[in-house]
């Protein structure tokens, strides 16, 4: 198929996300025909290594046979059914497996991460109404946080580029000091800084706890906020503080769940449990839209009543879609059958060793958590992100920097030769574009 024709048709009919459409006059779209493992292939046969897992969703590579087979098999049984008043095997099995993994109770389904955030915020607010704590109607979050772009999710997001235009629509929230270790004082370790940030939360809640419903945060890595990474002691302390002041803790593991931080879920590294857990992105291996909010049995029971008004009357048309649930079940099976978390440790060590042998003058703040790597580039080029993005595409690598922060979040199936290509190409491009 003719590339130019495809580009024109897309520009004439599609409003592309997170983009200034006028920019495509000078930065052409790339039509992708197919995927193979960590590679995307365009209509001319050019290959691009997907170092960002197609917006952090793809875990086991494009065109994964096991996930495709699970979806095809489910197609022969049931494509969709309303989940209000009905149920089906895939959603039951997925919910049971998630509970076994997280030790949380019931699962409430939607289609995307922002919707999961909305559900958790509404559940928390409604819980406090149901237990007659009606003044607890405010939320707090971290500075540089990102939780989605629907109205509630944007209210607990602290990135001006997404938020400022819609400020009149949003609820007022309070943003607490981020435990991102890059913000620590000179000589202050990541752990000590995280503990100091937890004290800030404690001091704030000592005054405002009566009005706060929940604290929402991204555990261990603030992804859209420049891949800010922090010590797990922060989560441990936050859990203790929220318990003491009777504040719900919502963990947004939409981007960092399912092995991204090295454990199946980031909160495991802090030996604690949240009140609400938001999951999406990698849950289906990157194949179909699905998100879920899990919560505790105590919270669930506060909605269990004869009165309809006390029920959680929230719904999405494709809630618990059987095809998406079958993809999620196949994804969880791959984790078990192929010992993915153990194999990822070897890949993490391989990349870290390769990075330790490099010296790049313009690179600072090199950091790694699990299968996420990031560093900041000291550049006077005001258009650095766009320049390195385009230069990388030219050399067959998909990078999507966040400002001057370059990161890798590759599919877990990446092999040593592909890692070498990703690392060497990126470092060359940083030197050229900074």
What's the pLDDT score for residue 39?
A: 98
**329: DSSP letter:** H
Mark 163-183 as b/e (b = at least 16 C-beta within 10 Å): beeeeeeeeebeebbbbbbbe
DSSP one-letter code for 133: -
Give the per-residue pLDDT at 326.
Answer: 98
Q: What Cα–Cα distance (Å) separates residue 179 from each residue in 145, 228, 230, 232, 274?
A: 11, 8, 6, 10, 18
CA distance 19 to 9: 17
Average pLDDT for the chain: 96
How far is 6 from 18, CA to CA, in rounded Å? Answer: 20
Residue-by-residue DSSP string for 400-433: --BTTEEEE---TT--HHHHHHHHHHHHHHHHHH
Alpha carbon 207 to its chain's center: 31
Residue 25 burial (10 A CB sphere; 0-12, 13-18, 19+)? exposed
Q: Going by CATH, does the domain composed of 31-63+339-433 fall within 3.90.1150.10?
A: yes
- List the domain boundaries for the chain: 31-63+339-433, 68-337
Which residues, given as ranges, of the chain have pLDDT below 70? 1-2, 361
Taking only the tens place, the pLDDT of each residue in 137-150 is: 999 999 999 999 99
- Determine the pLDDT at residue 313: 95
Q: How high is the pLDDT of residue 2?
A: 67
Helix (H, G, I), strand (E, B) or coil at 134: coil
Non-local (6+) Cβ contacts of 38 within 8 A are 49, 50, 61, 62, 410, 411, 413, 414, 415, 418
pLDDT the model gives residue 322: 98
**Interatomic CA distance for residues 133 and 404, integer angstroms:** 44
Q: What pLDDT, on a 0 to 100 scale, did the predictor assign at position 360?
A: 73
pLDDT tens digits along 244-266: 999 999 999 999 999 999 999 99
Cα separation values, 253 from 29, 308, 414, Å? 30, 30, 22
Q: DSSP state, 204?
A: H
**What CATH number does the domain located at 68-337 have?**
3.40.640.10
Using the structure block, give the residue that is written with the tokens 């891949």.
227
| ∠ CA 364-368-370, rounded to 5° | 170
What's the gap between Cα 129 and its chain centre? 29
Structure pTM?
A: 0.97
* Helix pair 340-356, 416-433: axis angle to 10 deg: 40
Helices (H), 216-317: 233-245, 297-301
The predicted pLDDT at position 300 comes to 98
**What are the two backbone dihedrals, phi and then psi, of residue 217, each rounded to the nearest 5 degrees?**
-155, 160
Please, what is the Cα angle at 251 between 245 and 252, to 5 degrees? 145
């Amino acid at each position: 198929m003719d590339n130019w024709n495809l580009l024109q048709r897309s520009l004439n009919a599609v409003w592309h996300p997170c983009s200034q459409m006028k920019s495509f006059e000078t930065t052409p779209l790339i039509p992708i025909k197919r995927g193979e493992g960590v590679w995307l292939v365009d209509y001319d046969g050019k290959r691009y290594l997907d170092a960002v897992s197609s917006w952090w969703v793809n875990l086991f590579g494009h065109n994964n046979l096991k996930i495709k087979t699970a979806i095809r098999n489910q197609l022969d049984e049931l494509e969709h059914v309303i989940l209000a008043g009905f149920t089906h095997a895939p959603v039951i099995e997925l919910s049971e497996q998630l509970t076994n993994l997280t030790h949380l109770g019931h699962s409430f389904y939607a289609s995307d991460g922002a919707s999961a955030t909305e559900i958790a915020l509404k559940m928390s607010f409604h819980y406090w109404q149901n237990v007659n704590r009606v003044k607890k109607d405010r939320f707090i979050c971290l500075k540089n946080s990102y939780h989605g772009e629907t109205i509630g999710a944007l209210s607990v997001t602290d990135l001006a580029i997404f938020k400022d235009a819609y400020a009149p629509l949003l609820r007022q929230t309070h943003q607490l000091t981020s435990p991102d270790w890059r913000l620590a004082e000179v000589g202050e370790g990541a752990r000590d800084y995280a503990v100091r940030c937890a004290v800030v939360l404690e001091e704030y809640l000592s005054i405002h706890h009566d009005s706060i419903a929940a604290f929402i945060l991204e555990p261990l890595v603030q992804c859209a906020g420049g891949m800010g990474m922090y010590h797990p002691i922060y989560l441990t302390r936050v859990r203790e503080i929220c318990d003491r002041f009777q504040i719900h803790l919502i963990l947004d593991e939409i981007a960092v769940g399912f092995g991204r931080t090295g454990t199946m879920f980031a909160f495991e590294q802090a030996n604690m449990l949240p009140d609400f857990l938001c999951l999406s992105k990698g849950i289906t291996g990157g194949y179909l839209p699905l998100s879920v909010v899990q919560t505790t049995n105590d919270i669930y029971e506060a909605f269990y009543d004869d009165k309809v008004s006390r029920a959680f009357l929230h719904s999405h048309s494709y809630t618990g879609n059987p095809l998406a649930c079958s993809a999620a079940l196949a994804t969880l099976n791959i984790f078990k059958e192929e010992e993915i978390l153990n194999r990822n440790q070897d890949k993490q060590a391989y990349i870290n060793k390769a990075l330790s042998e490099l010296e790049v003058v313009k690179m600072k703040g090199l950091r790694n958590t699990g299968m996420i790597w990031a560093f900041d580039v000291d550049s006077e080029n005001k258009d650095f992100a766009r320049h390195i993005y385009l230069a990388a595409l030219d050399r067959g690598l998909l990078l999507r920097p966040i400002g001057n922060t370059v990161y890798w979040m590759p599919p877990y199936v990446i092999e040593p030769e592909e890692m070498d290509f990703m690392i060497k190409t990126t470092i060359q491009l940083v030197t050229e574009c900074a």
